[in-house]
Amino acid sequence: MPVGDLTPAGFSPLLISQSLSFLLVAIFLLSLPSFALASPPLIKVCANYGCKYKAEVQLGNEDWRRLQQLFASSASSPEQERQRIAEAIALMEALVGDKTGTAADQARNGATGEPGQLDCIAESLNTDRYLRLFEKQGWLRWHRVAERVKRTPWIFDVHWSALIEEKTSGQLFTVDSWFFANGRPPYIQPLADWKAKRDPN
């Protein structure tokens, strides 16, 4: 039958072909990972020492896409995912720091009391919130977020860290961003090593 002729149903083959093309494109878009279509959520973060002041932050669309890109393809192993987590935490610190004044945060306790300086309480709370954001978006394949952990080797030496659990092994890893200045990847190491204060390098 010539292309211009109508089928018994009243549709030309060309129209049917175009309709099928539109349908396939729609199915493809719906099959994309949900985070690819998500908009940036509001994030409540600590903005000073001891988390005495909190700020609500919303990333711009371009910054949100930069963060999504780190998890665009599934990690092939838990080790690779931990590396991506470290990079994503560093990026979050840099992006949030520009909006809250914590970009000046120094390594460890730095200049205690200075605006934007964070201690281990604030650092661990922020890292925990970032990890839970990644988890909620469905970006973590090999890990789940666990409750924050603290070590108390001495009365005046209390230290906090965020914590993740490797799903396949059940092994716990601390994600500790306190050791470095704002925007640097955190230490990620087995919980037992962290408690023993072993150098992760």
Is the pLDDT at 40 greater than 80? The verdict is yes
Which whole number is the average pLDDT over 115-140?
A: 96
Structure tokens at 123: 């650092």
Rounded to the nearest 5°, which phi and psi values hold at 140?
Answer: -100, 125
Helices then strands (H, E): number in the chain?
5, 6
Q: How confident is the model at residue 39 (pLDDT cuts 50, 70, 90)?
A: confident
- C-beta atoms surrounding 155 within 10 Å: 6
Q: How confident is the model at residue 140 (pLDDT cuts 50, 70, 90)?
A: very high
Q: What is the pTM for the complete model shown?
A: 0.80
